[in-house]
Chain A
Amino acid sequence: METVARSQPTAGADAAPKDATLIYRQSRWTRLTHWLWAISLFFMLLSGLQIFNARPQLYIGKESGFDYNNTVFAIGAENTATGTRGYTEIFGKRFDTTGVLGWSGPAGQETARGFPSWATIPSYYDLGTARVVHFFFAWILSTTLVVWLVASVINGHLRRDLAPRIDDLKRLPRDIVNHAKLKFHHTREYNTLQKTAYGGVLFVLLPLMIITGLAMSPSMNSVLPFLNDLLGGRQTARTIHFVVMVLLVGFFIIHMLMILAAGPINELRSIITGWYRTDPPAHSDNTPERSA
């Protein structure tokens, strides 16, 4: 097979440059950091849910109210006439979440736990191990973010692909309509919604995650005592940490749906190899995707 391939050189690499729609879209730095984030966030989410299970309540303020109520979110289990039920309480409003939140497990072997076994690392209750996993990947995640930022400033990814432009605002309505119709244009540039989503994750959500994480560290409190005051107290920081987690999960779900809708093979290829198949040049009867 090897010799056959070598005897037909035109079929391989030489053909690529002639194909104008195949472009090199993602640099090796973008691809490497993307996958490091994907792995880190996966482990941080599942170990984080385990850590949350040790105290499945969220509070607003400097401390947790035991003699007064500053709880804004709680997962728990309670005995009722029909057996034990799991519940989730948001701002005092209670929802029955038996089977998923509060009371879950194989039929007949349910236990009281915040997030279910399938959503935590380890699957059994083990706060110490979850912390080991969480902080290991916290280092990977933060380091990756710094590496990405430096690389993206140097290689122009930031300026070229993510920096907002006036044009982004003009095309926003059209982008929203196209996304709603699951109609995607494959271009080198990110559209406005992509820029917002990626920029939001990289410059708002991940930094906020790191800041609120550090705010929970008693040692970091001695270095940056103003941080918790700024965030509204350590328990508020913990609540924000949780809310940002929910937003990141939301981003992940939309990210996956968009990839499936826009063509998973092509999208995956671009984030693995860097090469991306763009749409053929627009015909005269089509609206040009981008004038720039």
Chain B
Amino acid sequence: MAKFEISRRKFLTSASLGVSGIMLSGCDAFDSGLGVGDGLRSFLEGANGLTYRAQRWLAGRDALAQEFTEADIRQPQRPNGVTAPDDDTYKGLLANNFADWRLEVSGLVEKPLSLTREQLQNMPSRTQITRHDCVEGWSCIAKWTGTPLSLVLDQAVVKPQARYVMFHCLDTIDRSLAGDIKYYGTIDLIDARHPQTILAYGLNGKPLPVENGAPLRVRVERQLGYKMPKYLYRIELVDSFAAIGGGRGGYWEDNGYDWYAGI
């Protein structure tokens, strides 16, 4: 019945050995299996589907993101990602103050549209002061003005088989062997028809600046910033995004980020 006794020195020695052992094991032992497409990673990604269903169940279709007051706007909206597109098409449109720019609405719709800025701005608008949450961890509060996406979708008359709204952008976010990759992304029709989902052309009471996505960007207030593409020129209704890019539903998604970014 020998009691396990331990001297203070022995105790401290083994404690420090234990801690350094844990530190060493942290290195790169857990890197394998985590690449996009790997079985282990795909299994872990299943949690994103669970989060999506749980949050959709809790929030429903129309629960509104928190809105703030003018007093909460304490700084300009912080731009992120591409802030000055170097694309010739974009620069040409910008030089003419977007007079030649059109928003195309195409894909699974009864009536494809081609809208000018004036036409969009003449539609009923919505202004909201919301908090932009970046996937990196920071937040910034700003006032956004734009056309509810649901109004545009109603005008184009979405076909019943459509499941996602895909955003095509003018800015090159990346270059690959196949050529320039322009930013793209998708959201489901629940978020597309959410009352706060707007095609924003105004920021803090002024026209949307270039660094924040002029002439038009989307606001999807219940998700993170990477779900809100800037420099829009085409909205396409699709039934699947499997054949687009890497098949994961967006530029960042193809680079390993979850498709659902409500968390």
Contacts and interface: CB of A to CB of B under 8 A. Distances in A.
A287 interface: no
Main secondary structure of the interface of B (DSSP, over half): loop
A52 B140 CA distance: 17
A260 B135 contact: no
B45 interface: yes
Contacts of B82: none
A68 B75 CA distance: 8
Nearest to A140: B47
A67 interface: yes
B257 A131 contact: yes
Interface residues of B, number: 61
Given A54-B137, A67-B76, A136 B47 contact: yes
B160 interface: no
Contacts of A122: 28, 30-31, 34
Nearest to B42: A132
Contacts of A46: 26, 30
Interface string B8-19: 100100110011
B23 interface: yes
A229 B66 CA distance: 10
Given A63-B140, A118-B24, A127 B131 contact: no
Contacts of B44: 132-133, 136
Contacts, number: 175
B24 to A, nearest CB: 7
Interface in A266-288: 266, 279-280
A256 B15 contact: yes
A218 interface: yes
B99 interface: no
Contacts of B261: 218
B263 A55 contact: no
B57 to A, nearest CB: 10
B10 to A, nearest CB: 9
B138 A55 contact: yes
B31 A118 contact: no
A123 B75 contact: no
Given A62-B72, A128-B256, A266 B48 contact: no
Interface string A37-52: 0000001001000011
A219 B75 contact: no
Contacts of A126: 34, 256
Contacts of A57: 138
Contact of B51 (A118, A123, A135, A225): A135
17 contacts: A54-B136, A54-B137, A62-B68, A63-B139, A66-B140, A118-B26, A118-B27, A129-B34, A182-B8, A219-B223, A221-B131, A222-B66, A223-B58, A225-B66, A234-B131, A266-B4, A279-B3
Given A139-B50, A218-B222, A220-B55, 18 more contacts: A21-B1, A63-B140, A120-B26, A123-B28, A128-B255, A129-B256, A132-B44, A132-B45, A135-B51, A138-B47, A218-B131, A218-B263, A219-B59, A219-B263, A221-B222, A223-B58, A256-B18, A263-B4
In the complex, the 8 A-B pairs of residues with the closest C-beta atoms, listed nearest first? A219-B262, A128-B256, A55-B137, A67-B75, A263-B4, A64-B138, A222-B63, A128-B257
